[in-house]
């Protein structure tokens, strides 16, 4: 199964409990970024374009586990940067598993074979390897030759060692549906445990701004891909209704609080993709963010977004409220023919505000202030 029975039961029970308690907003997946440093420089990435002083910072084990406890989400996705560069990450993972949270350790897999022995197979743990297509497409996406072959070799080693391994695939407007479908066929033969797929988001800080998808192109692309996958048994570790949404059959509004993000700067407002301010605590994030100011139809930066971190939680909520709908989608798969649902109108959205550099400036000022103090301590020792 793309999503294990254990995870299905535990996460399902958590979601039902939230609904029975009347909680309108609750976290589903904690996006934990213990560092921004990476050993690749992908053209579509908006997470690593920071000064070295910030790239050198790490969340401590205590800070990571405090975020897990504070948030309470049943699933933790450890992203970055490249998480395997964090020397204390095995301790972080052990601490999260001890709390009976499901851990997806996202990695480009360049260090996976070297670091694999530091982790143990566990029903609550899996590696999620970044693969944006076949050899040619993925190596172009990550701007380095040879990465695809190393990643696939590492996946095989991890599977041989008994780990659950899924892939996460981000698609851009140059994606060829036939090649993507062939890639899914091939990578399934390797024995992966699931596929997470999403359209790319137009990060402000991404070097390549030319290849992000708009919503109409996203729907057409995914319909074409899903059409080619009928009956092939591709296992997606995502809600059937989210996949149906990607194909233009569901009209959903973003629920950014479903995937709150914690990184070096704090709790990121409002979501994993936009950094428009940070709070010190999860409680402050939830209580002080003007959630209605964001999302497609509300904010220009969100106009073309259909990313899982914004809409997966919406689909899960819909699944609980409409079990027959998700049952039909599970059996039928995403609908690939016929009219698409009407999209959210954009005529009332507020214009974009470009505020991403403020937190960087504040962090740099803080680090520059702390550096002389640290040097004085070292001199005294």
- Condensed to tens digits (0 to 9), the pLDDT of residues 61-115 reads 999 999 999 999 999 999 989 999 999 999 999 999 999 999 999 999 999 999 9
Residue 288 and residue 377: Cα distance in Å, rounded?
38
Contact assessment for residue 127 and residue 183, using Cβ atoms and an 8 Å cutoff: no
Please give the pLDDT value at position 7.
94
Tell which phi-psi region holds residue 162, choosing left (phi > 0), alpha (psi between -120 and 50) or beta.
left
324-339 confidence digits (pLDDT tens): 999 999 999 999 999 9
Judged by average pLDDT, the poorest of 2-16, 164-178, 338-352, 359-373 is 359-373
Cis before 44? omega within 30: no
Please give the pLDDT value at position 350.
95
Contact assessment for residue 161 and residue 202, using Cβ atoms and an 8 Å cutoff: no
Alpha helices, DSSP H only, in 256-307? 282-288
Please give the pLDDT value at position 206.
53
Q: Is the pLDDT of residue 361 over 90?
A: no
Q: pTM value?
A: 0.92
Please give the pLDDT value at position 369.
76
Please give the pLDDT value at position 172.
87
Altogether, the residues listed in the chain come to a count of 381
Residue 65 and residue 135: Cα distance in Å, rounded?
36
């Amino acid at each position: 199964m793309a999503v294990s029975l254990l995870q299905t039961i535990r996460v399902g029970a958590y979601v039902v409990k939230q609904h029975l308690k009347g909680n309108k907003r609750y976290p589903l997946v904690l996006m934990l970024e213990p560092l921004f440093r990476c050993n690749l420089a992908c053209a579509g990435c908006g997470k690593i374009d920071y000064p070295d002083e910030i790239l050198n910072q790490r969340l401590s084990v205590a800070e990571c586990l405090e975020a897990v406890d504070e948030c309470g989400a049943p699933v933790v996705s450890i992203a970055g940067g490249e998480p395997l560069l964090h020397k204390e990450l095995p301790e972080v993972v052990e601490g999260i598993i001890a709390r009976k949270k499901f851990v997806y350790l996202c990695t480009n897999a360049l260090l996976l074979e070297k670091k694999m022995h530091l982790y143990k197979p566990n029903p609550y743990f899996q590696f999620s390897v970044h693969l944006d297509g076949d050899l040619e497409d993925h190596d172009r996406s990550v701007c380095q030759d040879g990465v695809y072959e190393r990643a696939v070799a590492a996946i095989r080693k991890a599977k041989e060692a008994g780990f659950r391994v899924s892939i996460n695939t981000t698609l851009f407007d140059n994606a060829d549906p036939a090649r993507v479908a062939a890639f899914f066929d091939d990578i399934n033969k390797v024995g992966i445990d699931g596929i997470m797929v999403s359209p790319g988001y137009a990060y402000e800080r991404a070097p390549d701004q030319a290849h992000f998808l708009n919503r109409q192109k996203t729907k057409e692309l995914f319909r074409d891909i899903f059409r080619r996958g009928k009956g092939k048994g591709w296992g997606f570790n995502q809600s059937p209704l989210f996949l149906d949404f990607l194909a233009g059959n569901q009209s959903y509004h973003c629920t950014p609080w479903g995937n709150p993000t914690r990184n070096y700067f704090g709790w990121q407002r409002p979501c994993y993709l936009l950094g428009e301010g940070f709070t010190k605590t999860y409680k402050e994030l939830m209580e002080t963010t003007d959630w209605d100011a964001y999302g497609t139809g509300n904010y220009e930066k969100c106009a073309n977004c259909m990313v899982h971190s914004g809409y997966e939680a919406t689909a899960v909520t819909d699944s609980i409220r409409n079990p027959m709908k998700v049952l039909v989608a599970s059996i039928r798969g995403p609908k690939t023919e016929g009219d698409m649902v009407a999209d959210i109108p954009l005529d009332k959205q507020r214009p974009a505000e470009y505020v991403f550099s403020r937190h960087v400036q504040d962090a740099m000022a803080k680090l520059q202030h702390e550096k002389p103090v640290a040097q004085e301590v070292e001199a005294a020792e």
